[in-house]
Amino acid sequence: MSGRNRVKLCDRCRNTQPAPILYRVKFELGGDWVFVCPQCWTDVSENNPFYVYGGTWKAKKEKK
């Protein structure tokens, strides 16, 4: 596999720098899946009854 760059921004804060790790979550009643950075993840997950974790996205995939 070639070393391609995987780039994704946080759907919540839209930080101008791509994040190396993002979390796929739902955090609103009936909300869609979104990717959030570690900073936003803390905000949306704490004491939130609607929070659902859906996985971790990494910019650098490990080769198998």
Closest to 35 measured CA to CA, from 60, 63, 15: 15
Rounded mean pLDDT of the chain? 88
- Paired with 21 in beta bridges are 58
What pLDDT is attached to residue 1? 47
List beta partners, residue 25. 34, 53
Q: What is the pLDDT of residue 31?
A: 94
The structural domains of the chain, with segments of one domain joined by +, span 1-64
Residues 15-42: what's their mean pLDDT?
A: 92
H/E run at residue 57: strand 52-58
* Residue predicted with more confidence, 59 or 44: 44
pLDDT, tens only, 2-22:
556 688 899 998 877 788 999
Report the candidate in 10, 47, 9 with the shortest Cα–Cα distance to residue 27: 47
